[in-house]
Every structure is written in structure tokens, then in C-alpha cells.
């Protein structure tokens, strides 16, 4: 059984939807750099847990 939760976010470069598996123990509150699944540009992510237990992904370009 996987403890990861799948969430999605839009690429700040091409606006394509991307999916991400979030590990609540290790990923929440961390900054990550991932490549867009469509245009391959580097995306800086910051993952937060909402009060309802969902996950919110803030995505920005590497230059922001």
C-alpha cells in the first residue's frame, strides 16, 4: 500500500497539467525542482498540506 497521494498542478511555462505523487511525511513544506512532463522546462515546486488534509502545490518558473 502506497502512502503517496497523487495531486496535479499546471506548468507555469506551457500551462499543461502535470501530476505529482506527494509523500506527506517527506514532501510537505519542501521545495523541489521537477521538469514539466510536456515541455521539459524546470519547475520549482513548494508543497503544502491544507487544513482539510489535501495537498496544494505552488508551481513557479525557475527564474521567479
What are the residue boundaries of the structural domains of the chain, listed by start?
A: 5-61
What mean pLDDT is predicted for residues 13-35? 93
Q: Is the confidence at residue 13, as pLDDT, over 60?
A: yes
pLDDT recorded at residue 1: 47
pLDDT recorded at residue 63: 76
Q: Is the dihedral of CA 20, 63, 39, 14 positive or negative?
A: positive
Tell me the pTM. 0.81
Q: Pick the residue with more confidence: 63 or 55?
A: 55
> Distance between CA atoms of 57 and 55, rounded to whole angstroms?
7
Amino acid at each position: 500500500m502506497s502512502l503517496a497521494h497523487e495531486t496535479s498542478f499546471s506548468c507555469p511555462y506551457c500551462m499543461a497539467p502535470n501530476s505529482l505523487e506527494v509523500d506527506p511525511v517527506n514532501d510537505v513544506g519542501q521545495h523541489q525542482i521537477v521538469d514539466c512532463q510536456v515541455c521539459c522546462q524546470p519547475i520549482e515546486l513548494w508543497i503544502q498540506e491544507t487544513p482539510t488534509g489535501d495537498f496544494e502545490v505552488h508551481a513557479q518558473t525557475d527564474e521567479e
